[in-house]
Structure 1
Amino acid sequence: MKIRKVGFVKRLILVGVAFIATPLWIVSFGDTKSTLDSISGPILGNAASSEGGAKGARPALTSPNIIFFLADDLGYGDLRCFNAETDITAPVLDGLARNGVRFTDHYATATLCSASRRALLTGRWQSRLGEWAEPYGGTPNNDGIPADREPTVAMFLKQAGYATGCFGKWNIGGIDGVSRPGAHGFDTYLCVDHNTDYFYHRKYSHQTHLFDDGIGLYGPGGKTANLGGKYLPDVFGDAAIEFIEENKDGPFFIYLPWCVPHTPMQGPDDCLDTRENPPGKIIEGQHNRETFVEMVEYMDAKTGQILEVLHKYGLDDNTLILFASDNGGQVLGNCAPLRGHKHTLFEGGVRVPLIAYWPDGIKRSRVVEQPTIMMDVTATILDAAGAIATRELDGKSLLPWFDGRGKPEDRLFGWRQRIIDYGNQRNYLRAEACRFGNLKYVKETQPQAGNPVDFPFTEYLFDLSSDLGEQNNLAETNPEQLELMRRKSAEWRTESVNVDTPVFVNPFPDQYGSPTPEKIKTINTQYQKERVAPVSLKLEHRYRFESNASDSVGKKNGKPTPDAAPSEVPRFMADIPPGAVAGAPARSMEVGMSKGTRSSGITLPGGTLPSDSGSASLWLKPHTLDKGDYIVKVRDLKLLCEGNGALKVGHHGYTGLGSATVLPGDWIHVVLTWDASESLISYYVNGTMVASKRVDQPVQSPPLLVGNHGFADAANQYDGLLYDLQFYSGVLDALEVAELHKNPGSVATP
Structure 2
Amino acid sequence: MLKLTTAIFLSLSAAAFAKLPNIVIIYADDLGYGDLSAYNQKAAYKTPRLDQMAAEGIRFTDAHSPSTICSPSRYGLFSGQQIYRSTGRGGGAFEGPGGPSYLKPGTMTLGGMLQKKGYRTAVFGKWHVGLTWLDKDGKRLGGGFDNSLLIDYEKSTPLIDGPNERGFDESFITPNCPTTDPLYVYIENGMVPKPANHRYNPENTPNPGGKWRWDNDAGWVAPDYQFVGVDELFYAKTKNFITQHRETRPEQPFFAVLSTQIAHAPVLPAEKFNGATEAGPRGDFVYQLDHIVGRTIDLMKELNIDDETIILFNADNGAEFMHVAWMREDHNHDASGGYRGMKRDAWEGGHRVPFIVRWPGRIPKGQVSDQMTNTTDIFATLASIVGFELPDEAATDSFDMLPAMIGTQDQAQSIRPHLLTQSFRGEFQIRQGDWKYLDHQGSGGNPYHSRLLSKYALEEKEPDAPGQLYNLKTDPGETTNLYYKEAEKRKELQALLEKLKKSGRSAPKKRKPIGMTNIPKVD
Q: Match of 1:84, SS?
A: coil
Q: Match of 2:24, SS?
A: strand
Aligned to 2:259: 257
Give the one of 467, 486, 497 matched to 2:494. Answer: 486
Following the alignment from structure 1 to structure 2, what is the Cα–Cα distance between the partners of residues 203 and 465? 39
Q: Within 5 Å, which residues of 2 pair with 1:275-424?
A: 290-331=280-321, 332-333=323-324, 334-390=335-391, 391-393=393-395, 394-407=397-410, 408-409=413-414, 411-417=417-423, 419=425
Alpha-carbon distance change, 459 to 236 in structure 1, aligned in 2, over 3 angstroms: same
* TM-superposed deviation, 1:364: 3.0
Give the one of 418, 427, 433 matched to 2:429. Answer: 433
Deviation sequence 1:574-607 (CA, Å, 0-9, x none): xxxxxxxxxxxxxxxxxxxxxxxxxxxxxxxxxx
Following the alignment from structure 1 to structure 2, what is the Cα–Cα distance between the partners of residues 456 and 467? 20
**Amino acid of the residue matched to residue 231 of structure 1?**
G
Alpha-carbon distance change, 404 to 196 in structure 1, aligned in 2, over 3 angstroms: closer
**Amino acid of the residue matched to residue 372 of structure 2?**
P
If you compute each CA radius of gyration, which structure gives the higher value, 1 or 2? 1
* TM-superposed deviation, 1:252: 0.4
Q: Within 5 Å, which residues of 2 pair with 1:515-664?
A: none
* TM-superposed deviation, 1:484: 1.8
Deviation sequence 1:602-649 (CA, Å, 0-9, x none): xxxxxxxxxxxxxxxxxxxxxxxxxxxxxxxxxxxxxxxxxxxxxxxx
Q: Match of 1:317, SS?
A: helix
Q: Is the 8 A contact 1:109 1:115 kept in 2?
A: yes
Following the alignment from structure 1 to structure 2, what is the Cα–Cα distance between the partners of residues 113 and 259? 11
Q: Does 1:495 align with 2:503?
A: yes
Aligned to 2:473: 465
* TM-superposed deviation, 1:464: 1.1
* TM-superposed deviation, 1:217: 6.0
Deviation sequence 1:79-110 (CA, Å, 0-9, x none): 11111111132111111111111111111110
Aligned to 1:189: 171
Q: Is the 8 A contact 2:94 2:129 kept in 1?
A: no
Deviation sequence 1:156-185 (CA, Å, 0-9, x none): 111211111101110112134432111012
Q: Does 1:211 align with 2:187?
A: yes
Q: Match of 2:482, SS?
A: coil
Q: Match of 2:306, SS?
A: coil
Alpha-carbon distance change, 102 to 87 in structure 1, aligned in 2, over 3 angstroms: same
Q: Within 5 Å, which residues of 2 pair with 1:156-195?
A: 156-175=113-132, 176-195=158-177
Following the alignment from structure 1 to structure 2, what is the Cα–Cα distance between the partners of residues 492 and 146? 21
Following the alignment from structure 2 to structure 1, what is the Cα–Cα distance between the partners of residues 87 and 314? 25
Aligned to 2:12: none
Q: Is the 8 A contact 2:343 2:350 kept in 1?
A: yes
Over the aligned positions, Cα root-mean-square deviation in angstroms equals: 3.2
Aligned to 1:154: 111
Alpha-carbon distance change, 491 to 137 in structure 1, aligned in 2, over 3 angstroms: farther
Aligned to 2:69: 112
Alpha-carbon distance change, 148 to 485 in structure 1, aligned in 2, over 3 angstroms: closer
Following the alignment from structure 1 to structure 2, what is the Cα–Cα distance between the partners of residues 61 and 398? 23
**Amino acid of the residue matched to residue 369 of structure 1?**
D
* TM-superposed deviation, 1:387: 3.6
Following the alignment from structure 1 to structure 2, what is the Cα–Cα distance between the partners of residues 138 and 131? 20
Give the one of 107, 122, 130 matched to 2:87. Answer: 130
**Amino acid of the residue matched to residue 218 of structure 1?**
K
**Amino acid of the residue matched to residue 104 of structure 1?**
T
Alpha-carbon distance change, 188 to 361 in structure 1, aligned in 2, over 3 angstroms: same
Following the alignment from structure 1 to structure 2, what is the Cα–Cα distance between the partners of residues 270 and 318? 31
**Amino acid of the residue matched to residue 126 of structure 2?**
K
**Amino acid of the residue matched to residue 428 of structure 2?**
E
Deviation sequence 1:401-426 (CA, Å, 0-9, x none): 1222124235222233364xxxxxxx
Following the alignment from structure 1 to structure 2, what is the Cα–Cα distance between the partners of residues 158 and 436? 34
Aligned to 2:5: none
Aligned to 2:216: none
Q: Is the 8 A contact 2:44 2:283 kept in 1?
A: yes
Q: Match of 1:433, SS?
A: strand
Following the alignment from structure 1 to structure 2, what is the Cα–Cα distance between the partners of residues 120 and 296? 22
Q: Is the 8 A contact 2:440 2:466 kept in 1?
A: yes
Q: Is the 8 A contact 1:165 1:188 kept in 2?
A: yes
Q: Match of 1:164, SS?
A: strand
Alpha-carbon distance change, 313 to 74 in structure 1, aligned in 2, over 3 angstroms: same
Alpha-carbon distance change, 496 to 470 in structure 1, aligned in 2, over 3 angstroms: farther
Q: Is the 8 A contact 1:413 1:492 kept in 2?
A: no
Q: Is the 8 A contact 2:72 2:82 kept in 1?
A: no
Q: Is the 8 A contact 1:138 1:144 kept in 2?
A: no
Deviation sequence 1:642-674 (CA, Å, 0-9, x none): xxxxxxxxxxxxxxxxxxxxxxxxxxxxxxxxx
Aligned to 1:236: 234
Q: Is the 8 A contact 2:343 2:349 kept in 1?
A: yes
Q: Is the 8 A contact 1:414 1:492 kept in 2?
A: no
* TM-superposed deviation, 1:328: 1.4
Aligned to 2:207: none
Q: Match of 1:474, SS?
A: coil
* TM-superposed deviation, 1:230: 6.0
* TM-superposed deviation, 1:362: 1.0
Aligned to 1:65: 22
* TM-superposed deviation, 1:194: 1.1
Percent identity of paired positions between Structure 1 and Structure 2: 26
Q: Is the 8 A contact 2:71 2:128 kept in 1?
A: yes
**Amino acid of the residue matched to residue 238 of structure 1?**
A
Following the alignment from structure 1 to structure 2, what is the Cα–Cα distance between the partners of residues 413 and 64? 28
Q: Is the 8 A contact 2:228 2:268 kept in 1?
A: no
Q: Within 5 Å, which residues of 2 pair with 1:671-690?
A: none
Asked which structure has the greater RCO (Cα within 8 Å, sep 6+), the reply is 2
* TM-superposed deviation, 1:494: 2.1
Following the alignment from structure 1 to structure 2, what is the Cα–Cα distance between the partners of residues 213 and 72? 22
Q: Does 1:143 align with 2:143?
A: no
Following the alignment from structure 1 to structure 2, what is the Cα–Cα distance between the partners of residues 374 and 63? 22
Give the one of 229, 245, 248 matched to 1:247. Answer: 245
Give the one of 439, 452, 466 matched to 1:443. Answer: 439
How many equivalent pairs are there? 401
Give the unaligned 5+ runs of structure 2.
1-16, 133-157, 197-221, 325-334, 445-462, 507-523
* TM-superposed deviation, 1:247: 1.2
TM-score by length of 2: 0.70
Q: Is the 8 A contact 1:92 1:303 kept in 2?
A: yes
* TM-superposed deviation, 1:219: 4.7
TM-score by length of 1: 0.50
Q: Is the 8 A contact 2:45 2:279 kept in 1?
A: no
Following the alignment from structure 1 to structure 2, what is the Cα–Cα distance between the partners of residues 461 and 216? 48
Following the alignment from structure 1 to structure 2, what is the Cα–Cα distance between the partners of residues 440 and 413? 9
Following the alignment from structure 2 to structure 1, what is the Cα–Cα distance between the partners of residues 178 and 76? 23
